[in-house]
Amino acid sequence: MSAPSGVLVVGAGAAGLAVVETLRRKGYRERITLLGEESGAPYDRPPLSKQVLAGTWEAERTHLRTRAVLDALEAEFVLGARASALDATTRTVRTAGGAELNAEAVVLATGLHARRLPGLSGTAGVHVLRTLDDAVGLRRELLEARRVVVVGDGVLGSEIAATARLMGADVTLAGPQAAPMREQLGPAAAELLAALHTAHGVRLRTHALVDGLVTAGGRVTGVRLAGGDTIPADLVVSAVGSTPATDWLAGSGLVLDDGVVCDSRCRAADGVYAAGDVARFHHEALGRSLRLENRTNATEHALSVAANILGEDRPYRPVPYFWTDQLGAKIQVYGLPTPSATLRIVEGSTELGRFVALYLDDEDRPLAVLGWNMPKQARLHRRLLLDRYAPTPRPESAATGTTA
């Protein structure tokens, strides 16, 4: 039996496709196979909770590339096939249909599964939003729904609530935090987001834990909270987070800990790499592991994976970044804010709804940058974070104290 050759990418989302494209752009001409669970062409996820849900985009507009561009990659696309097992030693992937695929290098880019609250599934009118089909189905029901309850006050839940409200629904956003996205934005910025939602008519139920559903005739009619209150609902969206899609990797020999554990070169094992939402990588500049769930990370991580497959020995040291668009506000965050950080406005003002702010640590050093309807200015302030997150290696002469 000949030794495995080529590259096998498991996961046909943004990260997986970016690995394929980067390998080809860098001149790699060996066999590449892209294995994906969904049957359609690779698509982008951020528009699902906004443009697709609102109906301003048709589903096809989310496709990452045209058919002609995909064909030009000269890669084998095996779509509609779910990976069910991996032997990391032989770099062999088995699918649910019984096929076996192997390669010299395997890239794991399987992303996330939507987390579901117990009791919030199997009932008509209850939805999650993770896939394109989820978005299309949710939009169909949103057009008929009058009272919508979104359970979960993180990024996705806040975006869905905002979109549903703009579509004219009576919306309640219920979650355990004191304000929407408090974990991602910190208390001060989260209160601004709460005020924005309230001003647009979104009802906020903060510090709310869901106890179950109220149903009639097999369809949801309300959400019951732990304190005994019931929120009437024609439609419920569960947006309580997600989990890395690693269940199929049990027994693979890889280390799994809230994701696929990798070194700073994105390696999970010899010849096995991980990219995107599913990967927990060692960030050399921070000295700890991170798993980042955002679209920008999917692409940047893929670039590093492809480079390391080709022997470039490139550590992955990103400045973490995410963005969200809600109710006319474009919010961007560079870095990793902490709940205790001080928020200092450095451009614009909250009153105008356009500002840039720095998150400062106890020593007044910038931890993160927040942009609120000032994307260009926020990106300029990103440079303040480079020494913390992505330091430039010093020349060898400087490191040793010698002169050139």
Output 394 or 26, whichever has higher pLDDT.
26
Closest CA to 331 of 180, 171, 114: 180
Residue 4: what pLDDT? Answer: 75
Residue 76: what pLDDT? Answer: 97
Residue 276: what pLDDT? Answer: 97
Average pLDDT over residues 360-378: 96
Whether the predicted pLDDT of 392 surpasses 80: no
Walk me through the domains of the chain, giving residue ranges and CATH numbers: 7-113+243-309 (3.50.50.60), 116-240 (3.50.50.60), 328-389 (3.30.390.30)
Chain segment 171-212, per-residue pLDDT in tens: 999 999 999 999 999 999 999 999 999 999 999 999 999 999
Whether the predicted pLDDT of 393 surpasses 90: no
Average pLDDT over residues 155-162: 98
Residues with Cβ within 8 Å of 202's Cβ and at least 6 positions away in sequence, in order, are: 161, 162, 165, 171, 172, 173
Residue 9: what pLDDT? Answer: 98
Which residue intervals of 33-114 are DSSP H helices? 51-54, 67-72
Count other Cβ atoms within 10 Å, centred on residue 256: 16
Whether the predicted pLDDT of 220 surpasses 70: yes
Chain segment 324-345, per-residue pLDDT in tens: 999 999 999 999 999 899 999 9
Residue 400: what pLDDT? Answer: 31
In which band, very low, low, confident or very high, does the pLDDT at 394 lie, cut at 50, 70 and 90? very low
Q: For the ranges 108-122, 231-245, 284-298, which has the lowest average pLDDT?
A: 108-122
Residue 1: what pLDDT? Answer: 44
From the number of C-beta atoms within 10 Å of its C-beta (0-12, 13-18, 19+), residue 187 rates as middle
Residues with Cβ within 8 Å of 26's Cβ and at least 6 positions away in sequence, in order, are: 306, 307, 310
Whether the predicted pLDDT of 269 surpasses 90: yes
Whether the predicted pLDDT of 239 surpasses 80: yes
Average pLDDT over residues 164-171: 97
Residue 353: what pLDDT? Answer: 95
Q: What is the DSSP string of 295-346?
A: HHHHHHHHHHHHHHHTT---------EEEEEETTEEEEEEE---TTPEEEEE
Chain segment 77-130, per-residue pLDDT in tens: 999 999 999 999 999 999 999 999 999 999 999 999 999 877 766 789 999 999
| Alpha carbon 157 to its chain's center | 13
d(CA 75, CA 86): 21
Whether the predicted pLDDT of 25 surpasses 80: yes
Residue 402: what pLDDT? Answer: 28
Paired with 280 in beta bridges are 261
